[in-house]
Amino acid sequence: MKSYNEMTTEELMALKEQLTSEYEDVKAKGLSLDMSRGKPAATQLDLAMDMLDVLTSSSILKSENGTDCRNYGVLDGIPEAKELMGAMMDAPADQVIIYGNSSLNIMYDTISRSMTHGVMGSTPWMKLPEVKWLCPVPGYDRHFAICEHFGIEMINVPMTEDGPDMDLVEKLVSEDDAIKGIWCVPMYSNPQGITYSDETVRRFANLKPAASDFRIFWDNAYCIHHLYFDEKAVLLDILKECEKAGNPDMVYKFGSTSKVSFPGSGIAALASSKANLEYIKKQLTLQTIGHDKINQLRHVRYFKNYDGLMEHMKKQADIMRPKFEAVLDVLDKELGGLGIGSWIAPKGGYFISFDALPGCAKAIVAKAKEAGVVMTGAGATYPYKKDPSDSNIRIAPTFPTPEDLAVAAEIFVLSVKLVSIDKLLESR
């Protein structure tokens, strides 16, 4: 395959004509396909339906320590739920708080509390002249939206294949005490599917931040979301590494079963040092009497333990893997060697990250949309929705059916080709 860059203008013009005709044909079909959000498909949700049968009117709804899960009480979760989520999140049960249905909500609340009350006695961030945050890019749009909402200045940190650029992270956090946090999706990162190397995790644990209230926001959303169970990524336990490094309070781990059981009806948790948890519980006890213990019990009785979770996730992977492979096949076949885009084949998580020629992402997403394929908005993977090189596009292959996905991927690559040709011609 000849790269587009090597083609003559005439060749590109001819190709454009042919591709435009193909594009108009699919556009005429009036399709409506969605590769925009990391949503499980209905077939994945079907896998957890038996969870609805584990608690019935004849069940005894008591936790293992005798608590009546139907009544008020238990701020931080029933013991067996802490055990289960701790196993999933690589944390001892006594360093876990079980929350409601959303880890995003925990992250939001954690920042909100820091804004109004600081962190373990530090000055409330709202009282500081400025608060800054490190954002590995490309990253998760909902993380960035929280910072933007609170007026926190976001600083881009490039991702490498081992995780964020740690030279830059170390330099920035040690120099500027206005930097109070960093977003991390350390395993099968959103959107690139990168898992942080052991060295990256150790360097995180050994940071020497200028701000005593600097915290690593470790959003391990995809910790058991492997696509290939025989070549699972392995992530070092940052909580333990932070302890070893003498920085026990520097990290908050977030996790949930949103993409394990039912999104919106799962359970979410925070794992951290006991000192952090004690501080957090002082506020949490004012915010709520407790979270949904019946749903905690339902999850534990259904999944039982870590092995149960893994068995379940293997079934999910069997559904997801062919979808990822279908998209990657189309990318390989249609774009391989053309020099108009690059991507990483992820081993887990929910996304494929695609980098187009600089200046092309917005136009590609618009082009795909015109032909009926909704992608995540270009720029969404960057703070303030501003991708400086207008290049990154997040592909979410899980929600559509395999048939729809094949069509959507074809439309996507067609859009990439057409926009890239225009861009190349423009610069000649």
Chain residues binding a second copy by CB under 8 A are: 37, 39-40, 42, 45, 48-53, 55-59, 68-74, 100-102, 104-105, 108-109, 112, 115-117, 124, 126-127, 142, 145-146, 149-150, 258, 262-265, 283, 286-295
- What tokens were used for 403? 């048939």
Nearest to 428 by CA among 4, 9, 3: 9
The four Cα atoms 101, 107, 108, 113 give a dihedral, to 10 degrees, of: 120
Nearer to a second copy, 234 or 286 (CB): 286
CA atoms in the 13 A half-sphere facing the CB of 290: 17
Q: Between 297 and 360, whose beta carbon lies closer to a second copy?
A: 297
Q: In whole angstroms, how close is the CB of 72 to a second copy at the nearest point?
A: 4
- Nearest approach in angstroms of CB 144 to a second copy is 10
Judged by CB, which is closer to a second copy: 77, or 341? 77
CA distance 369 to 27: 10
Query: What is the rounded distance in angstroms from the CA atom of residue 273 to the CA atom of residue 223?
Result: 19
Question: Is residue 32 within 8 Å of 372, Cβ to Cβ?
Answer: yes
In whole angstroms, the minimum distance from the beta carbon of 181 to a second copy comes to: 16
Nearer to a second copy among residue 46 and residue 175 (C-beta): 46
Nearest-approach distance from CB 151 to a second copy, in angstroms: 9
Q: Tell me how far, at minimum, the Cβ of 266 lies from a second copy, in Å.
A: 9
Tell me which amino acid residue 127 is: K
Nearer to a second copy, 5 or 288 (CB): 288
Helix (H) or strand (E) holding 219: strand 215-219
CA pair distance 355, 119, nearest whole angstrom = 38
Q: Beta-strand (E) ranges in 243-384? A: 251-256, 268-271, 341-343, 352-356, 373-375
In the complex, minimum distance from the CB of residue 77 to a second copy, in angstroms, rounded to a whole number: 11
Torsion of CA 406, 407, 412, 415, to 10 degrees: 150
E strands of 228-347, at which residues? 251-256, 268-271, 341-343
Q: Write down the least CB distance from residue 338 to a second copy, Å.
A: 34
Would you say 98 or 414 has its CB closer to a second copy? 98
What CA–CA distances, in Å, run from 389 to 76, 278, 332, 412? Answer: 44, 43, 23, 19
Shortest Cβ 30–a second copy spacing (Å): 21
Cβ proximity to a second copy: between 113 and 203 the closer is: 113
Nearer to a second copy, 122 or 160 (CB): 122
